[in-house]
Structure 1
Amino acid sequence: MDAGYLLGAAANLLAGDPVRARLTVDHAALATALAERAEAETGLPLLRIYWFDAAPDRRSLPEHRRLRTLPRVTVRLGALTRAEGRWVQKGVDAAMHAELTELAHNRACADLVLLSGDGDLLPGMVCAKEHGVVVHLWAVQPVDGDFNQSEDLVAEADERRVLDRAFVERWAQLRETGPAPVPAVRTPELRVVPTPRDLATRPAPTVPPALVLRWSSPRLTPAPPTLAEITSPEQRWADREEDSAAVPGDARQVGAVFARRWLSRLHRDTELLPLWADHPRIPHRLDAELLRYAARFGLLAAKDDQIDEEDRYAIRAGFWQAFADRVPRPDLAVAQE
């Protein structure tokens, strides 16, 4: 399975945009759906799902670490590099070709399901067929009703199937983007995003919650500790395990997980009340750590290697939501009454 093809085509089908970051993917549900569909079509038990993908420097992203914990799933990574201002995969096709020919040569399977659209895999498909393997080629339903696969690949396959929208929606949904809506109890939403100077001159209760953090703040003295400063080596190990197995790539949820972890390790909540004075800004050392944490979950823009602006809003919105759950702001509690 070429993850770039599958997730890109799925995003195009659901959002009209082939950027896979538009999707929130339940990887366990995806693996289950693929296994059930393959076993039903071939009438044979599943040997293994090979997940081929690319990552910067071939370093596993959180989604790859989560996939590796699933039964019968093997992850193979190529390199993700920049070329002419866009991301390109390197080594994925070659790895898929090698796996196809190796499985066929060793007679490890009788039927093989291929999820890809790349014509470079044609020699590998031919080799598998010459060794007696039945090749099933699956496509994601194209938006325009035409092929989203190489015509040569389609012509050479023994069996062809299309994964329709209902199948994709079993394991993928569109990510929520943009700032959260403004509750009626607050002041009307400002149409122009304020600058730091605007926020500094505006009383804190009048700042709408939709205008979540865009700038970090250096003003709080003494500055609160960072998460790294209050985390033991044992907790750091447990955090990595939790992140690899449970934390999704949803920007708002990532911000909330970071905030809850940080808050749970502080000693006194009373020291946190001054943070509301700078809402929606976060002390700059903590803000930088929050963004570094979020970057580990693949929340990167495709053009400039930075965290996408919409994700920045959502990350900080998640932070402040978790913060408000633990340390309510007195003036807002009165307003809501």
Structure 2
Amino acid sequence: MTGTSLRSGVHVDYAPLIGALIRQAERISELSVLRVHWYDSAKDGVPDSQQQRIGELPKVKLRLGRFGMDRQQKGVDLRIGLDLVTHARNGAADVFILVSGDDDLTEAVEEAQVHGVQVILLAVPNTENKPHGISLHLTRAADGLEVLPPEVVDEAVEKFEMPQPTPLPQPVMVGPPAGHPQVTATPKDLVGLGRPGALRPSSPVPGYSVTTGRPPQVTTEYRDPAELAEQIDLVVGNVLTAFRKSATAEALAELNDNKPSIPRDIDKALLTDLSDRRGELDLSEQARHKLRAHFWKKYEEAT
């Protein structure tokens, strides 16, 4: 919908989406669905208004993890894995349809299969109607891989864009003192008036891992640097465009305040989209470093 995996860039109509997931699961398994487990994170484990509406839908059970100090999801993968294994051990279902591509779930899938159940992946389609963001390890472990029909996405998901701000005033001609050349004040100059350091030239900020807080070590040259640079530029451009169109004032402030760390949702979208574009399960440390550094470079250029 937006050319990126950035969650905040889309609005989802959850009732028809979950209804479509149920119908797809029943078609794949040839069985009636017991229930849908919907996993997400919530502040202090308390569902927000959207999550409450999802939990009130028929046959839907809301399963919430929490946010850590860095706004990273905590406990979601663990809950999915525990539910898979527990329900398989208890014989609650014969077939599990897993709508996820997360490599961290591979071991849980294999453990559930030990108890005699099937685990089938249901993937979101990309623009070529192929699975998007699915781990190869998870694919090998699962009993099958299906793709959600594109029309389901078209009907339930749409772009989300914040209202555009009022345009900045046009450049103002400033009358120079006698004997001095004419000076033009730009909108950027006007916005920056009174803000310390506002007119200083910007410079790229190195990308730091949201996990370690340190720049990754770059040890070897990438095999095809020109192709990598082109792909990184495209991915970063798409993510930034989607973020700017959907970001609230709070999200923009958080991004600037935490620089040079990249917020978890943006970092995940960058890594997922580059991995998907390159067809690689694991990006090299050099590719990750270049990707994060280029994000800040393009962000600074457009600010």
Residue 44 and residue 74 in structure 1: after superposition, are their counterparts in 2 closer, same or farther (change >3 A)?
same
1:155 to 117, 123, 140: 140
Is 1:192 equivalent to 2:168 in the alignment? yes
1:302 Cα deviation after fit: 4.1
Match of 1:91 in 2: 75
How far apart, CA to CA, are the structure 1 residues paired with 2:135 and 2:60?
26
Residue 99 and residue 179 in structure 1: after superposition, are their counterparts in 2 closer, same or farther (change >3 A)?
same
Residue 90 and residue 120 in structure 1: after superposition, are their counterparts in 2 closer, same or farther (change >3 A)?
same
Residue 193 and residue 76 in structure 1: after superposition, are their counterparts in 2 closer, same or farther (change >3 A)?
farther
Match of 2:112 in 1: 128
* Count of aligned pairs: 178
SS for the counterpart of 1:104 is: helix
How far apart, CA to CA, are the structure 2 residues paired with 1:102 and 1:193?
61
Is 1:61 equivalent to 2:61 in the alignment? no
Q: Output the aligned Cα RMSD.
A: 2.6
Which residues in structure 2 correspond to 1:1-337 (within 5 Å)? Answer: 14-83=1-70, 87-142=71-126, 148-179=133-164, 191-192=167-168, 301-302=250-251, 304=253
- One-letter amino acid matched to 1:114: L
> Greater RCO between the two (CA within 8 Å, min separation 6)?
2
Residue 302 and residue 90 in structure 1: after superposition, are their counterparts in 2 closer, same or farther (change >3 A)?
farther
Structure 1 residues 236-274: Cα deviation after superposition (integer angstroms, max 9, x where no partner): xxxxxxxxxxxxxxxxxxxxxxxxxxxxxxxxxxxxxxx
1:30 Cα deviation after fit: 1.3
SS for the counterpart of 2:26 is: helix
1:299 Cα deviation after fit: 6.3
SS for the counterpart of 1:170 is: helix
How far apart, CA to CA, are the structure 1 residues paired with 2:87 and 2:143?
17
- One-letter amino acid matched to 2:28: E
SS for the counterpart of 2:96 is: strand
Residue 164 and residue 37 in structure 1: after superposition, are their counterparts in 2 closer, same or farther (change >3 A)?
closer
Structure 1 residues 106-163: Cα deviation after superposition (integer angstroms, max 9, x where no partner): 0000110001111111121111111111111111123585751211100111111112
In 1, are the aligned partners of 2:37 and 2:60 still within 8 Å (CA)? yes
- One-letter amino acid matched to 1:120: D
In 1, are the aligned partners of 2:131 and 2:147 still within 8 Å (CA)? no
1:79 Cα deviation after fit: 1.1
Structure 2 length normalisation: TM-score?
A: 0.54
- One-letter amino acid matched to 1:151: L
Structure 1 length normalisation: TM-score?
A: 0.48
Residue 302 and residue 101 in structure 1: after superposition, are their counterparts in 2 closer, same or farther (change >3 A)?
farther
Residue 129 and residue 27 in structure 1: after superposition, are their counterparts in 2 closer, same or farther (change >3 A)?
same
How far apart, CA to CA, are the structure 1 residues paired with 2:65 and 2:28?
29
In 1, are the aligned partners of 2:162 and 2:248 still within 8 Å (CA)? no
Residue 301 and residue 191 in structure 1: after superposition, are their counterparts in 2 closer, same or farther (change >3 A)?
closer
1:164 Cα deviation after fit: 4.2
Percent sequence identity is: 31
In 1, are the aligned partners of 2:25 and 2:33 still within 8 Å (CA)? yes
How far apart, CA to CA, are the structure 2 residues paired with 1:305 and 1:59?
22
Q: Which ranges in structure 1 are unaligned for 5 or more consecutive residues?
A: 1-13, 181-189, 195-297, 307-337
SS for the counterpart of 1:169 is: helix
